[in-house]
Structure 1
């Protein structure tokens, strides 16, 4: 039993580290996405390849939380003690940095207003979103335990179909908004990824030939990533400028690639149990890496020029991502040696 738990823990940590690196690679790739030039295809390629990063984080959350039994007060105390300090600390950190860069928030109450009104830096949206998601988890957990496998599958089919609709509606220029007309909004949103994660994990564990299942998921992940890339190119060409419609975390190709990417990373994690110690140490830093990497990316981009459009993005993007990830990891590991910082990283 202890071996099974150790393998599960390492697999989850591997998926978390993989998703974290994908976030860094995505944001590096996005730097030069907004302009059609000779480097744009590299940005589109790496961006499409990493769009499943946030869904993987949410799917991991679903695996870890939906099957667990605990009272609502205990759940809220644990979860919000984990997410609210980082949200406050990193928001103030980036507000201070923005002030250093010349942005002015004014009096102290404007700082509070800015903090309450949304992320002061774009990537912190996830910390705000997870607050609302956590509020729904106790109820989603009840649904998970009370439903049969066929009912879970039915829910996920409805959810995936509804999630795909806004992308299809925009891409095909359909005027009717069926989500609003028929009240399908109930099935819409990122919270469905938690349910999907728990379901996909069960499917993985029950599959008799995990090796074949892993290779099939790897092939499908690459296929759906390529479809995201091609669809982004086609829609951007039609629009006359780079468009991110098919990059949305709820778009159909991203949703499909996220399932496959989760299975691939989880499968890798089950085979590297001998490295469980180092993997766990890096996984413990992923929240901090997520929060600090934009700061590191901006400093490194200015210092090294790796994100300049004059360089070949095909090698500059992954090299920059590796450097940003490594520097962010080193900074967070150093910060976590100081006890107070353990609560915000």
Structure 2
């Protein structure tokens, strides 16, 4: 891995972290202001431009993990300590924090089981999804390392079509009823891996322009789609805000490519 690779992954992580914070800071106004009002548009704009946060984290994971040669035991043992133990800790903390005082022992036990299965707090959905991704990584790694880049391109094209179909009402219901959203998220690590190994025969400046165009188009489509759909339904709708929205996938891919083709200078450590 080159120095520029390490730097741009770190820059992307920082940007994605800020994006996730921005989403949580703006979501209150987005859901509780009249559609089309000034405050609604401000919240919607910031919410839109920050929607790449989770996809970028998954793309970085794919770019870093899928090229590796690593046995399953080593892979899973590392993730066990980094994710599972902290996850169980916070699952327990949220469980007791949200637990009513005056309920029976059987009700407490039921709530504990329900919290383990569905999450004791809404934002823990990311950990459930991430655990599923990591369980699949060793198999996906073997797969992508033994097929051509053209085959990966076809797979990502098919994934993009699935994301488009997910916008339709019937497909969206089917995905939720079958609980197969996890498989949709697998597209991001594969996309990150593909974009990280992709070699262009054009100047970096041309790729940067293409990336910026993809980002702008993704933002405009997400904004307009959210506004039109919210007006149609008479209430704020976040279909285009979802991580699995094709417009968010387009924006996220553009940001990943843009950072890949920026020549970052090696950061100097103070005192060295």
**Could you say whether these structures have the same fold, taking a TM-score greater than 0.5 normalized by the shorter chain as the test?**
yes
Decide which moves more: 69-78 or 119-128. 119-128
Query: Paired residue for 2:25, among 24, 28, 35?
Result: 28
- 1:197 is the counterpart of 2:158: no
| RMSD (CA atoms) | 2.8
Q: Is the 8 A contact 2:119 2:125 kept in 1?
A: yes
Q: 2:172 and 2:38 mapped to 1: Cα distance?
A: 37
Query: Using CA pairs below 8 Å that are at least 6 residues apart, which structure has the higher relative contact order?
Result: 1
Residue of structure 1 equivalent to 2:219:
225
After superposition, what is the alpha-carbon deviation per residue over 1:117-156, rounded to whole angstroms, capped at 9, x for unaligned? Answer: 2222222211111111111111101110110111111111
Q: Between Structure 1 and Structure 2, how many residues are aligned?
A: 262
User: 1:242: which partner in 2?
Assistant: 236
Residues 103 and 131 of structure 1, relative CA distance in 2, 3 Å threshold:
farther
Q: 1:75-94, aligned counterparts within 5 Å?
A: 75-94=75-94
Aligned to 1:18: 15
Q: Deviations over 1:67-119 (max 9, x none)?
A: 000111111111222111221222233335445xx787875645642441222
Unaligned residue ranges in structure 1 (runs of 5+): 279-345
Per-residue CA deviation, residues 144-193 of structure 1 (Å, 9 max, x unaligned), is 011011111111111111122021x13xxxx578978xx9x799510111
* Partner residue in 1 for 2:151: 151
In the TM superposition, 1:1-345 aligns within 5 A as: 5-34=2-31, 35-36=33-34, 37-98=37-98, 107=105, 109=109, 112-167=112-167, 169-170=168-169, 188-203=183-198, 205-268=199-262, 270-274=263-267
TM-score (norm 1): 0.68
Local SS of the residue matching 1:274: coil
Runs of at least 5 residues in structure 2 that lack an aligned partner in the other structure: none
**Change over 3 Å in CA distance of 1:104–1:207 after alignment to 2:** farther
Structure 2 distance, partners of 1:164, 1:190, is 14
Contact 2:95 2:112 in 1 (8 A): no
With normalisation by structure 2, the TM-score equals: 0.85
Alpha-carbon distance change, 199 to 41 in structure 1, aligned in 2, over 3 angstroms: same
